[in-house]
Each structure stands twice: as C-alpha cells, then as structure tokens.
Amino acid sequence: MIRLLVADDHEMFREMLRIALSRAGDMEVVGEAGDGRELPNAVQRARPDVLLLDYKMPSVRDFASLLQDIQRLSPHTGTIVLSGFSSVEIAQRAAEGGARGYILKATRLSAVADAVRAVARGGSWIDPTLPRKIFDIFQSRANGPAAGPLANAGLTRREREILACVAEGASNLDIARKLCISEQTVKTHLSRVFAKLNVKNRVGAAMVFYGRTGTVAE
C-alpha cells in the first residue's frame, strides 16, 4: 500500500484527493497539512512514500528549501508538486528542491494516481500537458532517477507519457485506451522511444525510466 500525505491549504481539495486516491485500491492518505508550518511535523509523523504538495502553501518563504527540509526529515519520501499554473519558475524551484513530480491541479485524477505510483516506485512524473520548455527544465535539473539518460533522450511529451505507462506495466491496448489513441499509434511511439533510449524492449525502457542500469534480458 502506497502511503500518501496531502498538503494543500484548501480543505475541500484535500478531501477530494483523499477520497479519490483511497478508492484506487493501492494507496491510502496517512496525513494532511494545511500550511508550511504544519508540513514538517506531519511528514515526520507519517513518513509517507509520496507527498502531494501544493506550490502555493501559506507560511512558505522558500519553496525549494522546504522541499530540501522534507527530504532531510524523510529521505525515502518522493514529492510531487501540485499547481494550478504552468510555470517555468515552479519547475525550477521544484527541481532545485529535489521534487520528483510536477502536475497541474486540473489534470484528471487517474493521472494523479499514475504519478503517485511512478514516484512511489522510484521514478518521476511530469504532467504531459506542460509545455516542452518546462518539461526540459524540470528533467534536466531534477535530482530524481529520471534525470540523466531520460532527460537527454529528446522524447516528446506523448512519448514520455507512453513510456511512463510502460514503466507501470501497461500493455499496448491498455495504453491505447487510456490515451484515446490507436494501438498501432502506441506501437509507433514505442519504436521511437526504444530508438531514442537505445534499448531493445519494454524492460529496458522501464529501467531507463526508473534510472536503473545493467544488462537487460532479451
């Protein structure tokens, strides 16, 4: 079970996430925080696997420093930054602080759950609707496992979204249904992903996504 902590100053938004994500079946909300003063204590008590953190939290002077403090308190916790805005500044501060995800509040809840799973497994997740410039800034500066080979692979947003699904173990048919595209289109994108990552199969692609190295079984 993935342990979550939700930090947002809007109680109704926290409640929505708590209810929706608890229904996913593989995650539970073990703590909440409404401002920057509460957050460190909440993290220390709950020791969550993943922290969903609103960018505009009250009582936060330096967002990157807050993220670094959280990392020191609970090194195994992966942080996903939530925001209502697509911003280069947010991407930079999130990456500087070591966050492993950046998603928009307007995204579908199923995508939030996908992001949580990816980060809980050691990967990272950037909202595929974000502009390429923001995507590249975050990936190139992030401290998470997806920095490095993946950051320099030149994948498009769609290719990264499909790669994230592959890393979650989804089949081509599952991906096609989820993204509302044809199965042949998924296969075409995957061929390009394999070529850009210089891997031969889905296992190799998943290893790059999670920042792992080594010999991939054929």
Per-residue pLDDT, 208: 79
4 and 79 housed in the same domain:
yes
How many other CB atoms are found less than 10 A from the CB of residue 21? 22
Q: In this structure, is the dihedral angle defined by the CA atoms of residues 108, 149, 141 and 71, taken in order, positive or negative?
A: positive
Per-residue pLDDT, 194: 92
Paired sense of beta strands 78-83 and 101-104, if any: parallel
Per-residue pLDDT, 145: 44
Task: Residue 77: name the closest of 100, 105, 54, 56 by CA.
Answer: 100
123 and 162 housed in the same domain:
no
53 and 105 housed in the same domain:
yes
Q: Which domain does 123 fall in, by range?
A: 1-146
- Identity at 205, one-letter amino acid code: A
Q: List the Cα angle 205/184/120 in 5-degree steps.
A: 35
Per-residue pLDDT, 19: 93
32 and 106 housed in the same domain:
yes
62 and 138 housed in the same domain:
yes
Residue by residue, pLDDT tens for the chain (218 residues) are 999 999 999 999 999 999 999 898 899 999 999 999 999 999 999 999 999 999 998 999 899 899 999 989 999 999 999 999 888 888 888 888 888 889 999 888 888 998 898 888 877 787 877 777 777 766 665 444 444 555 556 777 788 888 888 887 889 998 998 888 999 999 999 999 999 888 889 888 887 776 653 333 33
Per-residue pLDDT, 88: 84
134 and 154 housed in the same domain:
no
138 and 152 housed in the same domain:
no
CATH code: domain of residue 187: 1.10.10.10
Per-residue pLDDT, 211: 62
Q: Which residues of 161-192 are buried (b: 16+ CB within 10 A; e: fewer)?
A: bbbbbbbbebebeebbebbeeeeeebeebbee
Distance CA 100, CA 209 (A): 12
Tokens at residue 161, please? 């979204």
Q: Strand, helix or coil at 40?
A: helix
Domain count, the chain: 2
165 and 211 housed in the same domain:
yes
Chain centroid to CA 133: 17
End-of-domain residue from the set 96, 117, 146:
146
1 and 93 housed in the same domain:
yes
41 and 53 housed in the same domain:
yes
26 and 132 housed in the same domain:
yes
CATH code: domain of residue 13: 3.40.50.2300
